[in-house]
Amino acid sequence: MSWTDERVALLTKLWSEGKTAAEIASALGGVTRNAVIGKAHRLKLSNRVSPIQQNKKPTSPPPSAPGKVERKSAPVPIAINNDGKGIKLTELEAQMCRWPYGDPRDENFGFCGGERMAGVPYCEEHAKLAYQAASRNRILKAKEFEEKQAKDSDSGEDEEREVAKAAVRA
């Protein structure tokens, strides 16, 4: 499948109408939802709220428990250089956050530059985004895999021993 001018025009039209990527893929035919998303991104079509998020009703936060102190998270301090843009790579210092902002090909590309956490290249807020805890299901699957690998390697060693014993006997 190639992106002809007609197909790109239809994608652009349907995208601007707010159709989902799956609906657009179906209308185009021979293309996946992910291909539509990728092409829309490369065409730099305007960002929009997903139709799924659009249909969600806003929920108000639950009231805090009596006597409980609410903590508001302070915005992450972002170092700004004289141009009003993020920190350039050449201006980054050892203890500055390396979270990228923008497209590396753009002139105004830069980095957060906030105070970096010990042991990671990001500030506290960006570290939360970069390092998310593994789900319980994923942890269990990893354990099962490791146990299977250990069992397989143990049985492989037994087979090797038997082959070696047979060779000695012969």
User: Where do the H-state alpha helices sit in 17-131?
Assistant: 21-28, 33-42, 51-55, 124-130
Grouping H, G, I as helix, E, B as strand and the rest as coil, residue 152 is: helix
Confirm if 122 and 87 have CB atoms less than 8 A apart: no
Structure confidence at residue 165 as a pLDDT band (50, 70, 90): confident
Phi and psi angles of residue 3, each rounded to the nearest 5 degrees, phi first? -90, 90
Confidence of residue 66 (pLDDT cuts 50, 70, 90): low
Task: Give the least confident one: 55-69, 107-121, 151-165.
Answer: 55-69
Mean pLDDT to the nearest integer, 133-139: 70
- pLDDT-derived band at 72 (thresholds 50, 70, 90) equals very low
Q: Give the pLDDT of residue 73.
A: 47
How is the chain split into domains, by residue range?
5-50, 76-132, 134-170
Contact criterion met (CB below 8 Å) for 81 and 111: no
With 0.85 as the threshold, say if the pTM is over it.
Answer: no
pLDDT tens digits, 73-132: 444 444 555 444 578 888 889 899 999 988 888 888 889 988 998 888 999 888 888 887
Residue 149 has pLDDT above 80, yes or no: no
